[in-house]
Amino acid sequence: MSALQNILAVIVVLGVLITIHEFGHFWVARRCGVKVLRFSVGFGKPLWSRTDRHGTEFVVAAIPLGGYVKMLDEREGNVPEAELHRAFNRKSVYQRIAIVAAGPVANFLLAIIAYWALFIYGTSVVAPVVGAVAPGSPAELGGLRGGEEIVRVEGSPTPSWQEVSLKLIGEIGRDGSLVIDTADGAEHRLPVQAYMVRQDPPRPLETLGITPWQPPIEARLGQVLADGPAAQAGLESGDRVLAVDGEPIEDWNVLVERVRASSGQTLSLEVESQAGVQRSIELTPQPRELDGGETIGYIGAAAVPPEWPAEYLREIRYSPFAALPQAVGKTWEMTWLTVDSIRKMVVGLISPSNLSGPVTIARVAGDSARSGLETFVGFLAYLSISLGVLNLLPIPVLDGGHLLYFIIEAVRGRPVSERVQLAGLKVGVVLIGTLMVMALYFDLLRL
């Protein structure tokens, strides 16, 4: 069922993003007087098609991993004399630039609209209050203490832990110090050296030695995976773990520590059901290897989410007018973070194993859909930005490659030769193919 939800979620996400992207090309092409022959969402065998009065065939195809807008073009076939003025290649270089750029621009506009709706709807976030600081860590050396609320990282406001993490990820590779401001007006300079370089995955808070504050979590099981060791041992949702091997369990974190340290070892648990019935259970955590090579115990169970005190929650909501600049700013921030991450991956500061392909996108899409509309819309906005940035990369085959040729044409006064374009096309196909294979490979490793 979870896999089916993931598949449905990714089809919806990709369907929306591809449709919006191709509609950008389509809409501007029509405004520039170009005849559009086909507007296809997906590749392969058409599942549905319809032709409008302008002669454009609209298609939904079987493979939802892309789309295209096919325009009248002399380079792709004979064009009747009467329709030459409607051919893409006959338009001015600036019109062609506008048509090609319209797809990525449409993705950025979709992200702005999505963030605008979220800012109007409002959201409740957990304040970034420090729970504990590791001895000898950059956080301790910078004077950060438990109980302080982080309000800015490098001058940028951070109303939530998500914002703190995003700002810290943007500082990958930094040498010197990270400036963190807290609610009491203090400025902390945390010493860092090659901050998070090639970490997989990046661990911004852990690297600085910061543990977020959270309310005590009772050692009561919330979700229990059907095929996990916990379920096989007879544990059920709602059970509370009282003791492990005769030692009382105070909270969930203590239980997690015992489980992680007991890979392959049989534990004796004293458990109390929701009805108050106590029983003994033998449980053997399965070994699970982390990315760094460490092996921990795993039982396939999660805690009941804690109730957060009101003073640790922050409400983020704006009026429709105030939400617009916030949405534009958020889109720009995420766009720059994406571009900067690509740059850092190219120069070796970020490991290429952080690339994500269709499997990871499907899993995250499914998780966000199950988490609620707010999370799903936020993921849709971020993925739309990623698609816009990816398509603007100056690689032949992508929109950015075509834009590069047209810009060169505008500067030189004549188009790039077909020989150069063909060579660039071959290089682009190899680059994109290599990236797709790498992304799928790392997807499978994550499974």
Q: How many CB atoms lie within 10 A of CB 444?
A: 11
Amino acid occupying residue 433: G
**Per residue, what are the HEC states of the chain?**
CHHHHHHHHHHHHHHHHHHHHHHHHHHHHHHCCCCEEEEEEEEEEEEEEEECCCCCEEEEEEEEEEEEEEECCHHHCCCCHHHHHHCHHHCCHHHHHHHHHHHHHHHHHHHHHHHHHHHHHCEEEECCEEEEECCCCHHHHCCCCCCCEEEEECCEECCCHHHHHHHHHCCCCCCEEEEEEECCCCEEEEEECCCCCCCCCCCHHHHHCEEECCCCCCCEEEEECCCCHHHHCCCCCCCEEEEECCEECCCHHHHHHHHHCCCCCCEEEEEECCCCCEEEEEECCEEEECCCCCEEEECCEEECCCCCCHHHEEEECCCHHHHHHHHHHHHHHHHHHHHHHHHHHHHCCCCHHHCCCHHHHHHHHHHHHHHCHHHHHHHHHHHHHHHHHHHHCCCCCCHHHHHHHHHHHHHHCCCCCHHHHHHHHHHHHHHHHHHHHHHHHHHHHHC
Q: Which amino acid would we find at residue 31?
A: R
3-state class (DSSP) for residue 77: coil
Catalytic residue, chosen from 22, 148, 163, 270, is 22
Cβ atoms of 180 and 190 within 8 Å: the answer is yes
Residue type, 208: L
Q: Are residues 97 and 415 in contact, defined by beta-carbon separation less than 8 angstroms?
A: no
| Amino acid letter, residue 58 | F
311 belongs to the catalytic site: no
Place of tokens 């420090």: 130
Contact in structure between 237 and 224 (CB atoms under 8 Å): yes
CA distance linking residue 15 with residue 11, whole number of Å: 6
Catalytic residues: 22
